Structure formats: C-alpha cells, structure tokens
Amino acid sequence: MCFFVLLPLSLPAQRVSDLGIRVGVLSSGKYNAITDVPGVKVGHKTLTEGDNVHTGVTAILPHPGNIFQEKVPAAVYIANGFGKLTGISQVQELGNLETPVILTNTLSVPVAADALIDYTLSQKGNEKVKSVNFVVGETNDGYLNDIAGRHVRKQDVLEALSAASDGPVQEGNVGAGNGTVCFGWKGGIGTASRVLPGKSGGYTVGVLVQSNYGGVLYVNGVPVGQELGKHFLHDQLNDPADGSCMIVVATDAPLTSRNLERLAKRAVLGLGKTGGIASNGSGDYVIAFSTATGLRVAHSSASPKYEVSELRNDEVSPLFLAVIEATEEALLNSLFMAETVKGASGTVEALPKQKVLEIYRRYRN
C-alpha cells in the first residue's frame, strides 16, 4: 500500500526553529529573541503606503531606565564600512552607549538622530543636557521603497521608541526591515538568542538584525542558494551582493567595551555562515552592549573612579559561540519570516520555504 502526502505549494512565514531547523548546539531563551536579555526592549514603526512606500523604524532599548544617565558598556565592529552608522566615534572612544539604538533606511538617519535628541532631552533628569551621542544605523531599502521621498518622520521614530517592549519580537516585513532585500529574496528584521550552560555562567546573548545583503545563501550549512540557482555571480547583473546588514548584540554578561568588541567580531562569523560576503557596497556593522547593572556608567558621579568586575578573557569563549549561533539564526529568521512585497521598483519574492525545506531534508537525510 502506498501513501502520498500532499505538501502545500507554499508555507506561511515561520521561524526556522518552528520548521525543525536547529542552528548550533546551545539552547535559546524563552522567546529566542534579543529581549531574552533582561531589560532589553524592542519597538517597531512600519510604514507602508501603496507600492511606493515600504520602510520603517526599529528601536532597541538596552534597559528601561534613563540610558543617558545610566550608560551601558558598548562597542562597534565594522566588517565593511559602506554605510552611514552615526554616533560610532564616541562609542569607540568612550566605550559606552547613552541612547537607544535606532535602525531605519539610509536617507532617514538624520531625522532619526533628531528624534533621538528629542527623546533624550524629554526624559526627567536630562533638562540640562547639552550633548547627546545618538546612535542610528541603516540599510538602503531603495529598491522597494521610495527612499528619496524620506517618508520617515520624527514622530515615527518616537512611536517606535514608545512601542518598545520586552517579550516576543515581530520579525520579517516590520520596522526597519519593511523594505529590505536579502540574497535576492525579501529580507527584514530577525532575532534569536542563546543561553549558556550554568557552568559557563548561564549568561544570555541576544541578537537582532536588519538584513539587506547578498552572497550565496546557506541554511544551517545547506547550500540553498546554489541549489535554487539564485546567488551572487550566477547572474551578476540580476543577483548583486551589495546591500547592508545591521547586527545588534545584547548580553547580560559583565563585559566592558574591549571584550564587547571581541564579541561583535564573532557576530560577523554568523553572517558568513549564512553566505554573506560583506561586499564592496555593503555596510555591515555590529553594535554590542552589556546590560550588566554593575557596569552601568553614571553620567555624573562624586567618585573619580569607575570600578568594575568583569569576566576574564578565558571565560568569554562560550559567549563567542553563542553570538555566532544567535546571529546565524536571527538572519535566517529575517528571511523565513518575510513575505513577498510589490514595491517601488518591482516585486521581491519571499524565500520559497517549501523548496528550501525539501532541499534541506534531502541534504540532512
């Protein structure tokens, strides 16, 4: 007797873990999201108008308090610098972050920075602030979005900040990922997390990405882009690798800026595992911060010393593995959760998930 199982022609947006694809060896957190790191919140404002407007804003808050008054240790790593990340020099120089991180499109960086100034000055205790190091990252969504129209307004940024919450994080065509393209398919926002075993400290690493880059797609080691015949240099005119990727890494591990930069470097290994090549025209940046309360940097203090207790170098390798795995899965989630969009310059299809799963199972069985 023969049995035939009829598979649907297409699958709805689902996270890779829900489809039976297990990335790495470490366990994820409750939500498998950057918000598994205690205190971290994420908010989106998605702008869609007809075919021409597909853009938005994503806000990442390191903690729910006044970030300017209680700065967090932070670092930035540049894999390829074809981008417009603003606020980078002060983070690198002082090793801390004093505002939320905003992600948006390339030409909306100035308005987002202006909104972050308003947001910071409006908080109680910041009435006399005269300098704000706003941090805004971007990718270019100009294929699907009328980017020159600069449709993001200050109010949109403030609404994304106001909407920020812990718990599950929306992915795919939301916020700053609404108009992005990845490996020639619809990209977007993705997130994931990893929790270390108790013997390694039990710390959490969470990652959120804005995917808008190219190369040769691999799904957990399976050469999906090659199998589907859609990848960089397969047809150089139609499959460019240029674009960008913003990666935001959060951890509750007690790391100062030096080891946070080392952690950020390993996130790029996760990007590479998906097949990204950090092409000449790609702005690939990682912003990493620690939420450990003992490392908060007070804006003003009566003490001339900043005394901290941080992990030894020998203890950070488990965190390196965690960030590689979380970044890889977050990027895959950004693809698997995205949906087809008809935009300003054409239509970008969602990843053909049913075909991908068939290829994946063939390689894994």
Query: Which residues does the annotation mark as catalytic?
Result: 244, 282, 284
Look at residue 85 and give its three-state secondary structure.
coil
Encoded tokens for 187: 């990209």
DSSP class per residue in 254-282: ---HHHHHHHHHHHHHHHHHTTB---TTE
Cα separation, 59 vs 80, whole angstroms: 23
Question: Which residues lie below 8 Å from residue 83, measured CB to CB, with a gap of 6+?
Answer: 106, 137, 138, 139, 244, 282, 283, 284, 285
Crossing angle for the helix pair 257-273 and 317-336, to the nearest 10 degrees: 40
Look at residue 154 and give its three-state secondary structure.
helix
Question: Which residues lie below 8 Å from residue 9, measured CB to CB, with a gap of 6+?
Answer: 354
Compute the chain's Rg from CA coordinates: 20
